[in-house]
Amino acid sequence: METSPYCKHLVLPHGVSFNFILSLLILVGILASYLPQHVRIIRLRSSFGISPYFVLLGTTSGTSSFANILTLPKSARDVACCREISGLSCFAGMLGIFQVGTQCLSFYVILLLYVIFFPRDPAAAAATTGPLPRKQATYRTAVGVAVVCVLHALAVIITSILVVVTQPNHLQAWANVLGIMSATLASIQYFPQIYTTFRLQRVGSLSIPMMCIQTPGSLVWAASLAARLGTEGWSTWGVYVLTAILQGTLLVMAVYFEYLGPKKDIITTTPPSDATGEVPGEDQNGPASERTPLLANQQNR
């Protein structure tokens, strides 16, 4: 089958190109950049220090961004070209979609871990993080964030399907709406986290390596998407430019509090507690008793 003029730009010359290699590296980099955050929450068994509104805005922004690139008419034309070009060229042409989808999925993993490891015992949290500000997010807030994120995703999916089926001529307009929504959410996404980190003066469960990778990576990713989508896709790649600027601000703050600030991060793995919520080895009523572990007795002498 002869390749149409539009689809020829997706055909890889000699089976490979610089943009293909760069896009593939970005895809791997996106996944690798979120892993430190996932691992840190799991290792600490706590999501302390992560703002619920940061998670909410980041997840809904990722959903909007993924829906944006899926509904772009250009994406639909690129997908249609897979019938005319080789499998490798088709995979290369879909890398932009895979990148945004991986970023969206990775933030949903953060949402899941945030709810699972949300510190529900204030006393245990204080034992591992030091004195906390009076006003703290509750577990109900964490669950509420998850519910809102799921409802938002369902609303975007249903609306996108309706536009595709009933108003296909308005796909570009709907994609722009999603892009603006994503950019708006992303532009304010880091403000709650910046405020939370400044208020706590600790990094908590927030991952500095993640931000070290993502801050410059967002700029590279934006440049790659701009080269692929052109000015027509400004609503897709523009959000990552904004994200890089705000995330860089948070990174500078986090590095200061972690290594230079007056309250260096002291969070450790949350100690186990018994049914009453008391930390083993500590007698809440006074001196050690015969039920107090021997090691705790020796430490108290």
Residue 106, CA distances (Å) to 40, 112, 132 in order: 14, 10, 29
How many C-beta atoms surround the C-beta of residue 135 within 10 A? 6
- Would you state the pLDDT for residue 138? 87
pTM, entire model: 0.77
pLDDT of residue 295: 45
Looking at residue 269, the DSSP 8-state letter turns out to be P
- Distances in Å between the Cα of 103 and the Cα atoms of 28, 64, 79, 241 are 11, 12, 20, 15
What confidence tens digit (pLDDT) does each residue in 264-273 have?
545 544 444 4
Whole-number pLDDT of residue 40: 94
| Gap between the Cα atoms of 148 and 131, Å rounded | 30
User: Which pLDDT belongs to residue 257?
Assistant: 86
The Cβ of residue 162 has, within 10 Å, a number of other Cβ atoms equal to 11
List of long-range contacts for 210-216, beta carbons under 8 Å, 24+ apart: 210/33, 210/34, 210/36, 210/37, 211/247, 211/250, 211/251, 211/254, 212/251, 213/29, 213/32, 213/33, 213/36, 214/33, 214/243, 214/244, 214/247, 215/244, 215/247, 215/248, 215/251, 216/244
Residues of the chain with pLDDT under 70: 1-2, 14-15, 121-135, 228, 232-233, 235-236, 261-301
**pLDDT for 130:** 53
Query: Which pLDDT score, from 0 to 100, does residue 143 have?
Result: 94
Distance CA 138, CA 237 (A): 35
Arithmetic mean of pLDDT over the chain: 79
Per-residue confidence (pLDDT) for residue 261, from 0 to 100: 65
Is there a contact between 38 and 107 (Cβ–Cβ < 8 Å)? Answer: no
The C-alpha angle 169, 175, 181, rounded to 5 degrees, equals 145
Side-chain half-sphere of 102: how many Cα atoms within 13 Å? 20
pLDDT tens by residue, 63-75: 999 999 999 888 8
Helix (H) or strand (E) holding 236: helix 234-255
User: Which residue ranges make up each domain of the chain?
Assistant: 7-270, 275-301
Q: Which residue in this structure is represented by tokens 């996404």?
A: 189
DSSP state of 117: T
